[in-house]
Structures are given as C-alpha cells and as structure tokens.
Amino acid sequence: MERDLAKTAKYFNLTRPALIKLMREKGLINEKNLPTYPSRDREYLRAKDGQWWHPELGMQYSQSTRVKQAGLPWLAEQLGLEMPAIPADRRDVA
C-alpha cells in the first residue's frame, strides 16, 4: 500500500504543507516534492509518474511522491514523529 503526501500527513495528524516542510528540512524531498535520493530511499519512497490528456494542450505529465508502507515507521524516525496508535481489533467481540 502506498500513500500520497496528503494521506501520509493525515496519518501523522499533520497538514500536507507541514509534512513537506519537515521532509525538505531533513533533505528527504527536493523543491519539486520528489525524493532527493530515489535509489537510497527506494524501500520507503517512490516517485509516481502520472499522465492525462488535456483537450487543448495534449498529453500532460506529472510526478508525485508516494510513501510506501515500510516508509511510515522510517519517516516517523527520520522526522521525530510518533506513530499513531493502532486501533483495537473488535471483530472477535460478540
């Protein structure tokens, strides 16, 4: 499972701009919000390529950062954030 930066920020109870600021300060993402070291951090972050057709401008391309599942505890450690508590599993309650 991968999360975009907005969902990752929500996971840590932050705003997207606050998460981006912390990640930039630590050198994890660059000015385009893409991983600064894609090879080194490939287990945790990746750049997702996107494209769409615009009727007047033709094919448009974009890139965005995705945080992998293994990247959540890594990111918490890198940024000094606390991992949210895992909710109790109530499926076995009768």
Nearest Cα neighbor of 72 from 84, 59, 90, 58 is 84
pTM here is: 0.84
The pLDDT value recorded for residue 86 is 73
Domain count, the chain: 1
Query: Dihedral of CA 22/17/73/2: which sign?
Result: negative
Query: 93 lies in a domain?
Result: no
The pLDDT value recorded for residue 93 is 63
Query: 7 lies in a domain?
Result: yes
Query: 88 lies in a domain?
Result: no
How many whole angstroms separate alpha carbon 91 and alpha carbon 71? 27
Query: 35 lies in a domain?
Result: yes
Write out the chain's pLDDT in tens, 94 residues: 899 999 999 999 999 999 999 999 999 999 999 999 999 999 999 999 999 999 999 999 999 999 999 999 999 999 999 988 777 677 766 5
Query: 51 lies in a domain?
Result: yes
Question: In terms of residue numbers, what domain contains 44?
Answer: 2-79
